[in-house]
């Protein structure tokens, strides 16, 4: 089902304390400016953009993809694998419950949306430091009535599955080299990501449009060769917190 709305949250002042694998200092003012450009790209792709106010309790809460999923007509409230992010999902549960049936991932399961790749006839879930086997089993049970099989995929050194692959629609997958030949992706047309541009494996495909991080010309060129309208946005301040363009919105 095509998405029509993107739920986003502006970075708060507390975003400087977001989880990060680097020592780079985040510029919050620049992050907010980049977030505004991202919202403009979502609108250019034809989505209604629902902007929530910053939640200073949770430094990472601008990364809306992780605390909840919307699949097969239901909202699934996740249980983040990062302990400091637990609670973010409750801020979304009430909003989502007014619009959709709601289910939950329960302890001991953990699941983050950044590990979930929805394909036309299946759902692949990265087994990572953020999403565990128990969480994946619970998701499989929740999606079974919709006839969507859930397949676990080890992510190796990647933070999330969507750090390494992106579904572009029409049977095409953008993938870093280490994932390109995995059997689970057999039957998909693989668009390879050059090693020098691995950060740009995380793109957000929206019909004939695709939002990509700015500054990765080879990936942008490959996507244009797929007849996609490339919408580049600056993401330097989100990359500092290991985030990308899919991370910043929850699609409905």
**According to DSSP H, which parts of the chain are helical?**
28-44, 88-97, 133-143, 177-180, 217-225, 236-239
What number of residues does the chain have? 252
- For the stretch 50-82, pLDDT in tens is 999 999 999 999 999 999 999 999 999 999 999
Report the side by side order of strands in the sheet with 116-118: 116-118, 123-127, 150-154
User: pLDDT under 70 in the chain at which residues?
Assistant: 1
pTM surpassing 0.95? yes
CA–CA dist 206, 44 (Å, integer):
10
Domain CATH for 214: 3.75.10.10
* Active-site option among 39, 62, 78, 247: 247
CA–CA dist 14, 246 (Å, integer):
21
For the question of residue 160 being annotated catalytic, the response is yes
pLDDT at residue 1, rounded to an integer: 62
Cα–Cα nearest to 199, from 148, 242, 136, 156: 242
pLDDT at residue 207, rounded to an integer: 97
* Active-site option among 35, 39, 78, 160: 160
Which residues are registered as beta bridge partners of 204? 211
pLDDT at residue 83, rounded to an integer: 96
For the question of residue 247 being annotated catalytic, the response is yes
DSSP character at residue 46: T
pLDDT at residue 91, rounded to an integer: 86
Full domain range(s) for residue 40: 5-251
CA–CA dist 176, 58 (Å, integer):
31
| 181 torsion bin: left (phi>0), alpha (psi -120 to 50), beta (else) | alpha
30: Cβ contacts below 8 Å, ≥ 6 apart: 236, 237
pLDDT at residue 2, rounded to an integer: 80
CA–CA dist 39, 20 (Å, integer):
23
The residue with tokens 């249980």 is 79
What's the total number of domains in the chain?
A: 1
């Amino acid at each position: 089902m095509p998405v029509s709305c993107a739920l986003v949250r502006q970075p708060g002042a507390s975003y400087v304390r977001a989880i990060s694998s680097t020592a780079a200092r985040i510029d919050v003012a620049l992050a907010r400016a980049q977030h505004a450009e991202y919202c403009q790209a979502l609108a250019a792709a034809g989505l209604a953009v629902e902007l929530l106010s910053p939640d200073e309790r949770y430094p990472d809460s601008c990364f809306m993809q992780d605390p909840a999923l919307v699949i097969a007509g239901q909202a699934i409230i996740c249980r983040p694998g990062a302990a400091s992010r637990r609670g973010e999902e409750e801020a979304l549960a009430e909003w989502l419950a007014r619009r959709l049936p709601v289910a939950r991932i329960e302890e001991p399961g953990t699941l983050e949306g950044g590990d979930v790749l929805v394909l036309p006839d299946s759902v692949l879930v990265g087994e990572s430091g953020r999403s565990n086997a128990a969480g994946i089993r619970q998701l499989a049970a929740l999606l079974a009535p919709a006839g969507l099989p859930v397949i676990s995929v080890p992510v190796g050194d990647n933070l999330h599955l969507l750090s390494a692959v992106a579904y572009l629609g029409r049977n095409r997958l953008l993938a870093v080299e280490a994932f390109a030949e995995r059997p689970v992706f057999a039957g998909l047309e693989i668009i390879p990501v050059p090693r020098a541009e691995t950060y740009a494996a995380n793109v957000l495909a929206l019909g004939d449009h695709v939002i990509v991080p700015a500054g990765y010309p080879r990936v942008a060129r490959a996507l244009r060769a797929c007849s996609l309208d490339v919408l580049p946005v600056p993401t330097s301040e989100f990359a500092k917190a290991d985030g990308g363009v899919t991370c910043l919105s929850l699609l409905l």
